[in-house]
Structure 1
Amino acid sequence: MYRLSGWASTPSQDEERCRFALKSIPITNPYPPLLLSDKGAEVGRILLLEWRAAGLWAEVLVNDEHAQIKGFSVGCQLDTFETIGLGQPAYSLVTGARLTELSITDRPCNAEAIVLHRAPYNPIDLTPLIKANSAYLDTIISKFDVMRRAIEELL
């Protein structure tokens, strides 16, 4: 597996003559699916989405076969936008949208929506730690079960 990170969206104009204003796409939890552009197949998962000064930053986890992908693409349901520059080459400034998917692609519509970092993902093996602390963890789990049952009774 590989961890990819970079800009999913920036305020720059894309090939479809759209610009996404900063923070125009609210970050929701759970995150939307991570898809392979033009295929619609889920290819990994989103680890992080956050707005930064230069745009929407994404960190994703993908299978090895997608490790060299070049960029990102946001799939959105547009809520609010305005047309800028009537009478000249106009563009749409998106001020509100709902993120429906994040895609990885070799042809990002926004030339700045690119993968900037890629690294093999090797999760830490916690098995020795869990085995060494299994009695403690069993106690914690049982306490959570008691709390869960109490909450369910209140509902």
Structure 2
Amino acid sequence: MRRSSRCGCDRATYHRQVESALGIEPTLVVDDGADLTAAVHEQHPELLPAVVGGTEITSTGVVRMRSTAAEAALRYPALPTNDALTEHLFDNRYGTGQHTVDGILRATTVLLAGAPWWWPATAGAGAASRPGPAARAPTSWSPRWIRCGRWTPSSTACGCCRCTAPPPKRTWS
């Protein structure tokens, strides 16, 4: 597979990269922000007959795609992966948690190995904060949980969160 883009570029370079990605005449549009989808529909409608479908991963991109679909202008089926329960279970929980701990370690240059006195804490409400960053810390650190009063174990769509990661032993309100 040929890569046609780089991270951290200016706007003009970004648009050249979008054009380069469409240069392969895709049959499946895997999008992040709905920019490829918009480019296919607005600038390259000749590619539409070959496209069998697409996906969108970001909230903003899903809004853009739904807006296009509401205008009856979306010309191929699109799957909003951002709305999938598994995305919330895994991306928000493990992705956010791991990146938060990693970001703190890199920003502070703290060595946590052999430091059981350090107690990670998670605060907030929403899918990304439960169980969140404290869950990525080693269990020997006994993570503390600070939860919003509105959070309940049944606040997920089907209770899968309880199966995937059991609630912590200690809970502070």
TM-score, length-normalised on structure 1?
0.27
Higher relative CO (Cα under 8 Å, sequence separation at least 6) belongs to 1
- Higher helix share goes to which structure? 2
- Higher strand share goes to which structure? 1
